Amino acid sequence: MNNSAAKKIYFNRPQRLTQLIGANTTVIVAGRRTGKTDSIAAPFVLRNMQRMPGSTGGIVVPTFKHGLTNTLPGLLAAWKRWGFINGVHYVVGRRPPKSFAKPITEPHDYEHVISFYNGSIAIIISQDRPGSSNSLTLSWLLVDEAKFIDYDKLKDETLPANGGIKSHFGHHSFNHSIMILSDMPQTKRGSWFLHYREKMDTDLIAAIEATVYEIWRIKSRIKSLRNTQSEIPSYLRNHLRRLDRALNQMRSVAVYYKEYSSIENLQLLGENYIKQMKRDLTPLTFQTSILCQRIGIAKDGFYSSMRERHKYNASDFESLDLAFKSLCDDKVMEADNLIAHNLITCKADADVNPLAPICIGLDYNANINWIVAGQPSGKRLNIIKSFYVKFERKLPELVADFCAYYATHQNKTVVFYYDSTALGGNYAVNDQDFRWVIIHEFERHGWRVEDVYLGNPMRHDEKYLLINQGFAGKQRLMPFFNRQNNDDLILAIQSAGVSRGRLGFRKDKAGEKLAETEEDRLEHRTDGTDAFDTLYIGCEKFPYNDTGISVALGGIV
């Protein structure tokens, strides 16, 4: 490592506790922006690769695209801050240089492998790539974005491979270790890891904490004796060795489970903050974001007929492999910047028909704006991707993001569905309304726009019936969501509630006007769901045919 590695690194209390406890099985459930990847996962992977030279570990991600945009950039960015240099200390996606030590078990190829200078390797195991766990002998596992992981695949294909090489690393408490990271799941299927809470022995964890403290206390005493050039009693060294052995034994069988909510930071945030959040946020948002409580798709939610089967994966691995290789060129970036730098484009999506136009619905707001894109295919409406921009980035930037992602799409036609909310409104972009801005920006980027007017917005009760019948297969089109391209939209849809007031049955939109907080993100509110509604209503009621004519199939109220 270079000299920058000697700099002090800050870890908050949850991150320090996770590392100090060092349990063989660690499960952390925490919200976004809590440093799960760069301050919990990155030290875990680095420790295992450094201290088990020549070992093989696995980084399990739900899809290869998810790993490229969410997991790997954070890991590599953290290592870079700590002084580990791409091409010097490790390489990604290629055969390592001859100066690197060889792994104990060499992989068949290095296409999806991170190789360390000491022979340790980490293999990217993506569940959408068949056979990525086959014939592996692993010494550790990192399972990221666990709420999206297919547990049956993990249990049958990957967990049996995590047996380690006991002849080499059996003395380490972290041999055969597993770390599971996620935010709170929204579905029963995504909740497979929550049962680890019952497996944790709290007395054992307390004993580990006490032993870590005692080791620190004795080492501090030894250091103090050295500083005064005093003789160090042999019993201190013997006691330290006994404590190390005991700690290693306890860690080797320990399960550590922790959920982090805002209540954990009560001393820092203050009681008034919690009270304010309970007053300002919707009950569902407070339950999940503040209290970190477990929920699923509400049976009385606005999209109550949506099921797990309405989500799908669709990756073009050849395109993603090229993006993965770009990490070898030191293009280590923050999450999502692989997309921002056009290293991941629509070429990575196997569900896009490049010869067909792309249908879009939008939502317009002063603080957040959405495009939800889809393509009808037979009786399916595939929601192929969603985009949003926030705050100072407005509609021109939103359209630019769309056009950059779909730059290689052959049919440069968008079918723009809009209702009366797009007419007459603006937030000082220029003197024109939203509809004009959208059409103008697409044409400026070289796209042709077929704009389809839906009339006044559909009443909430009619919209509820139409879309939920669509999910149930009782309409012409059934919506399906590309999981890796619609994370935030899916969460917003699953969280959307209903309210009943003097105007009758409605989607609960009470939280839309509140200021954004770290716990209540704009992208998880109902704005994006309104863009999806517009897209579905347009494709269902005004299908775009091959001659470019939109034909109304029923009235819009």
Distance, CA of 544 to CA of 411 (rounded, Å)? 14
pLDDT (average), residues 357-361? 97
- Is 358 a residue whose pLDDT tops 80? yes
Bridge partner residues of 178 (DSSP) = 25, 141
Q: What angle do CA 532, 534, 371 make, to 5 degrees?
A: 55
Is there a contact between 61 and 144 (Cβ–Cβ < 8 Å)?
yes
- Is 191 a residue whose pLDDT tops 70? yes
- Which residue from 399, 489, 485 is spatially nearest to 449, judged by alpha carbons? 399
Q: What are the tens digits of pLDDT across the range 474-490?
A: 999 999 999 889 988 99
Q: What are the tens digits of pLDDT across the range 381-436?
A: 999 999 999 888 889 999 999 999 999 999 999 999 999 999 877 664 556 889 99
Structure tokens, 351: 């569900």
pLDDT (average), residues 151-163? 89
Please report, rounded to a whole number, the percentage of residues in the chain having pLDDT higher than 90.
50
Distance, CA of 162 to CA of 175 (rounded, Å)? 9
- Is 455 a residue whose pLDDT tops 60? yes
Q: What is the mean pLDDT of the chain?
A: 83
Q: What angle do CA 540, 542, 544 make, to 5 degrees?
A: 100
pLDDT (average), residues 14-31? 90
- Which residue from 338, 321, 330 is spatially nearest to 76, judged by alpha carbons? 330
Cα–Cα distances (Å) from 420 to 395, 424, 452, 455, 556, in that order, read: 17, 8, 11, 6, 12
pLDDT of residue 401: 94
Q: What are the tens digits of pLDDT across the range 95-129?
A: 999 999 999 999 988 989 999 999 999 999 999 88
3-state secondary structure 293-316: CCCCCCCCCCCCCCCHHHEECCEC
pLDDT of residue 392: 84
Structure tokens, 419: 């209702």
Q: What are the tens digits of pLDDT across the range 487-524?
A: 889 988 987 878 766 656 677 766 655 555 555 567 77
One-letter amino acid identity for 3? N
pTM for the whole structure: 0.73
Where does residue 548 fall: left (phi above 0), alpha (psi -120 to 50 degrees), or beta otherwise? left
Displacement of CA 201 from its chain's centroid (Å)? 29
- Is 294 a residue whose pLDDT tops 60? no
Distance, CA of 68 to CA of 317 (rounded, Å)? 12
Confidence of residue 335 (pLDDT cuts 50, 70, 90): very low
pLDDT (average), residues 133-152? 89
- Which residue from 556, 534, 553, 555 is spatially nearest to 543, judged by alpha carbons? 553
Is there a contact between 243 and 471 (Cβ–Cβ < 8 Å)?
no
